[in-house]
Amino acid sequence: MSEPSNIPLRSDTQEAGPMRLVATLGLAGFFAGLLLVTGFVYTLPMIEANKAESLRVAVYQVLEGCAGFDQLGWDGQKLTTQLGTGVELAPVYLGRDASGRVIGFAVTTEEPGFQDIIRAIYGYDPTTDQIIGMEILESKETPGLGDKIFKDDAFRANFTALAVQPAIVSVKKGEKARPNEVEAITGATISSKAVTRLLQKGMEAWRQPILDFQAQLDPQGENTKSQ
């Protein structure tokens, strides 16, 4: 691949002084930076819109019949709909149906899988204390194996009515006996267990706050109107 006739071309740059070298690299860095910032500014709104859109779609998928949702805040002690100073955004979304009735909560959570962090969102219904749907938001699990956590319908069926008490546990395929058990995917045990752990962690962190929030929203156990 060598082109002997071209070697003399380089000789004119042979004696480049230090200033020239610094200038070359400085200019390269400057223009690279310029290009990158332009690209970043141009694509950022699209990337954020994509993320927001995939989250929005996922909330609708995990809460059946959902017509609208609000992200809740965490004020240090409890979940709140009042987002303001001293309140940080919680990974919890309050879902309502078309008539404004609260139908459940969607929670995002993450956990290391086989390759990288798996991010997921799941729907939780505090009235039945069950997980009612689960979608994977981000995963780099092995195509054909680990990616069955979001491609395999049999595995996904685990999450349509999954009891969260006493704890969500993973069992081998075909051995599900109790409502709190998740049947793992054969050949993708690590990914399946990661999903189980991820749900368990999400529930450990947010089950009680959600139950408290629900009780406060709905003291008589009646349906709550949208504010």
Partner 1 sequence: MNTPDGHWDVFVKGLWKENPVFVAVLGMCPTLAVTNTAINSLAMGAATLFVLFFSSLLVSLLRKVIAKQVRITTYIVIIATFVSLVDMLLAALVPDIHKELGAFIALIVVNCVILGRQEAFAASNRVGPALLDAAGMGVGFSMALLMIGVVRELLGNGSLFDIPVFGSSFEPWIVMILPPGGFFTLGFLLLIFNTVARRRATRSSIVTKA
- The answer to the question of residue 227 lying near partner 1 (CB under 8 A) is no
- The answer to the question of residue 177 lying near partner 1 (CB under 8 A) is no
Helix (H) or strand (E) run with residue 41 in it: helix 18-62
- The answer to the question of residue 43 lying near partner 1 (CB under 8 A) is yes
Nearer to partner 1, 162 or 188 (CB): 188
> Strand 181-183 and strand 162-163: pairing?
unpaired
> What's the half-sphere exposure (Cβ side, CA atoms, 13 Å) at 135?
17
- The answer to the question of residue 9 lying near partner 1 (CB under 8 A) is yes
Scanning residues 110 to 129, which ones bind partner 1 (CB under 8 A)? 115-116
- The answer to the question of residue 14 lying near partner 1 (CB under 8 A) is yes
Kindly tell me which residue out of 52, 85, 145, 206 binds partner 1, with binding defined by CB under 8 A. Answer: 145
Residue 166: is the preceding peptide bond cis (ω within 30°)? yes
Q: C-beta of 120: minimal distance to partner 1 in Å?
A: 14
Joined together, the tokens standing for residue 205 give 């962190």
- Interface with partner 1 (CB under 8 A), residue total 37
What is the 8-class DSSP label of residue 60?
A: H
Kindly tell me which residue out of 24, 99, 128, 216 binds partner 1, with binding defined by CB under 8 A. Answer: 24
Q: Go through 112-121 and write b for each residue having 16 or more CB atoms within 10 A of its CB, e for each that does not.
A: ebbeeebbbb
Nearer to partner 1, 57 or 167 (CB): 57
Long-range contacts of 73-82 (CB under 8 A, 24+ apart): 74/209, 78/209, 78/212, 78/213, 78/216, 79/209, 79/210, 79/212, 79/213, 80/213, 81/227
Scanning residues 44 to 73, which ones bind partner 1 (CB under 8 A)? 46-47, 50, 54
Q: C-beta of 143: minimal distance to partner 1 in Å?
A: 5
Nearer to partner 1, 51 or 225 (CB): 51
SS3 199: helix
Backbone angles phi, psi at 195, to 5 degrees: -65, -40
Residue labelled with tokens 């051995």? 175
- The answer to the question of residue 13 lying near partner 1 (CB under 8 A) is yes
- The answer to the question of residue 2 lying near partner 1 (CB under 8 A) is yes
Nearer to partner 1, 100 or 187 (CB): 187
- Binding residues vs partner 1 (CB under 8 A): 1-3, 5-6, 9-10, 12-14, 16, 20-21, 24-25, 28-29, 32, 35-36, 39-40, 42-43, 46-47, 50, 54, 115-116, 138, 140, 142-145, 187
